[in-house]
Amino acid sequence: MPIAVDFVKSVTGESFDSLVLASPNPVVVEFMSYGCEHCRLLEPVLQEVAQRLGSRESVLRVNIAVDQELANRYDIEGTPTLVMFLKGIEVGRAVGPNPSVKVLWNDVTRPFEELA
């Protein structure tokens, strides 16, 4: 399943504060692991959603196998978990979303629309 362009950028513990918490724009963070089969099923769907979102929302990923501290900080109990941030504050989360573009689109846009 090689992908030509990665629309979901990786973020680490070092860059999390600057890319997520300090961002003035809506940010979606996927807490995932490359060994997680459900994350793998979600990956092409998330790529498509991220591509459609364009500059409207940033979609980033955190590999919890590498950044366990972030997983602990945000109480991640399983992967994949999507956490929506606005100006550094968590405004929503989707745990184990269905790998469908429609469902995922709703999951990642609704929390921000409710606030608008």
Counting contacts by CB under 8 A, is residue 98 touching another protein? yes
**DSSP string spanning 47-63?**
HHHHHHHTTSSEEEEEE
Report the first-to-last Cα separation within the chain, whole angstroms: 37
Counting contacts by CB under 8 A, is residue 6 touching another protein? yes
Please tell me the distance from the alpha carbon of residue 102 to that of residue 30, in angstroms, as a whole number: 17
Q: Which among 79, 62, 59 has a CA at the least distance from the CA of 70?
A: 62
Residues 47-76, one symbol each (x = binds another protein by CB under 8 A, - = not), give ----------------xxxx-x--xxxx-x
The nearest distance, CB 4 to another protein, in angstroms, is: 10
Residues 14-43, one symbol each (x = binds another protein by CB under 8 A, - = not), give ---x---x-----------xxxxxxxx--x
> Which residues are annotated as catalytic?
36, 39
